[in-house]
Amino acid sequence: MKTLAEARLYAFVDTGYLGGRRPADLAASLCAGGADVIQLRAKDHSRADVAAMARQILPVTRAAGVPLVVNDYLDVALEVGAEVCHLGQEDFFDAGHTHVSQLPLAGQRIRIGLSSHAPDQAERAVLAGADYVAIGPVFATPTKPGRPPVTLDYVRWAARHLTVPWFAIGGITLENLDDVLATGARRICVVSAILKAADVAGACQAFRHRLASAPRSVA
């Protein structure tokens, strides 16, 4: 199983971009293209739907040695045996948690990722014991409607200050990837630029190729 420290490309099975494809088939294409981490993101679906999709995807990702991240639903991640759960600020801090040890993990070992939109939120996430931190949205993106972009300045800050694995996310494309890499980012999350491509595996490979040209970071 790949570790977060080794990961460079974090991809998504986002139900907003399925376009009639089966979640498990999309996950297989992402794995074939070289995604290091895959998140199931199903904002407009019920808990039962998310659990059903996670059960379909998990055998695919596990066979490829790729961690599966369940977005928002910690109980689903624990129930199906996913390796990671990703939580937003509102799902974690606004829910009264200050450290991941306070989550109802029932003795299970699962990694926790936290979103952040500003340096103080990233620092708070690190102190809370997050296994990784998402930095974004770097650019405006329909995936986060109404959320103003944090700009490349925040990514530069992350490159200078964060010592846990972190991923730049939000509106990243092959056209702006060089600008993102120039800030010091070495791990990225990509949603629409991969999922809207005619060849999902090929799109992953294109991002992988560009990422490989940048030196690895310490964190």
**CATH level 2 (architecture), domain 9-212:** Alpha-Beta Barrel (3.20)
- State pLDDT tens for residues 149-180: 888 999 999 999 999 999 999 999 999 999 99
Q: Which amino acid is at 91?
A: D
User: For residue 97, what pLDDT band results from cuts at 50, 70 and 90?
Assistant: very high
Q: Which residue has the tokens 């995807």?
A: 57
**What is the reported pTM?**
0.95
Residue 144, burial from CB neighbour count under 10 angstroms (0-12, 13-18, 19+): middle
What is the Rg, in whole angstroms, of the alpha carbon atoms belonging to the chain? 16
Q: Which amino acid is at 150?
A: V
pLDDT at 68 over 90: yes
Chain centre distance of CA 78: 17
Task: Determine the average pLDDT of the residues in 82-99.
Answer: 96
Question: Which one-letter DSSP state was computed for residue 149?
Answer: -
pLDDT at 145 over 80: no
Residue 163, burial from CB neighbour count under 10 angstroms (0-12, 13-18, 19+): exposed
How large a percentage of the chain has pLDDT more than 70?
A: 96
